[in-house]
A = this chain, B = another copy of it.
Amino acid sequence: MTFDPATLVYNDAGLIPAIAQDAASGEVLMMAWMNAEAVARTLETGRVTYWSRSREAFWVKGESSGHVQELVALRVDCDRDCLLVTVNQTGPACHTLRRSCFYTEVQDGAEVEIMAPVTA
């Protein structure tokens, strides 16, 4: 079946969550949002492209930081309302310069930082 981004299920703002996973390590790096055009651009260019809700603009991941995500595979979930992109991540995925955005773990009721920023 031919894939058409318009057949995905978007929220009221026209967005769908996209989970980025490191293709090599399996680490979950981040979650951000795409609209239909961002999905199309991601597939066309091979560069993962989100929709920035704060800037209200396309966000080619790494365009300014250099921390690009090269698309390896794009998967759709059973409800067609969530995407999983596996990527080759250059540098840290998180704007805090940690490898993953999920660097805070709840341990015995307390928040523990389990990952330090990457140093150059």
List residues of chain A with CB under 8 Å of any chain B CB: 1-3, 17, 19, 21, 25-28, 30-31, 43, 73-79, 82, 84, 94-96, 98, 101-107, 109-111, 114
Q: List 11 A-B contacts (CB under 8 A).
A: A2-B111, A21-B28, A26-B27, A30-B77, A75-B103, A76-B102, A76-B104, A76-B106, A76-B111, A78-B94, A78-B103
Copies in the complex: 2
Given A17-B31, A76-B111, output 9 extra A-B contacts at Cβ < 8 Å.
A1-B110, A2-B111, A28-B84, A74-B106, A75-B102, A76-B102, A78-B104, A79-B101, A84-B102
Please measure, in the bound complex, the distance between the C-alpha atom of A75 and the C-alpha atom of B73, giving whole angstroms: 24
